[in-house]
Amino acid sequence: MTKRLNWIEVWIDTYASYVLVLRGYEDGSIELYDPQKGRGSESSFDSYEEAYLWLREDEYDLAEGRMEMCE
């Protein structure tokens, strides 16, 4: 069964010019997607806070806003 996507956030490492996409799913799971590496999740997290701290530790910055997924 395919998981239903709720939202996405774009995170940017301005020093390395690198972009990661954080995806939140209806079942509460959170996955980090690396568009440069293609399909599939790079990492998964138990909570948004865990993902946020991981991204900030690696000096990623959240791009303005979050995109909510429409039905």
Residue 30 is assigned to a structural domain of this protein:
yes
pLDDT at 23: 94
Number of domains, the chain: 1
Residue 37 is assigned to a structural domain of this protein:
yes
**Under 8 Å between Cβ of 25 and 4:** yes
Percent helix, strand, coil in the chain (nearest 5)? 20, 40, 40
Residue 25 is assigned to a structural domain of this protein:
yes
Residue 49 is assigned to a structural domain of this protein:
yes
Amino acid at 19: V
Residue 67 is assigned to a structural domain of this protein:
no
Range of the domain at 27: 5-60
Per-residue pLDDT of 20-71, as tens digits, reads 999 999 999 999 999 988 776 689 999 999 999 999 999 999 998 665 665 5
pLDDT tier, 1 (very low <50, low <70, confident <90, very high otherwise)? low
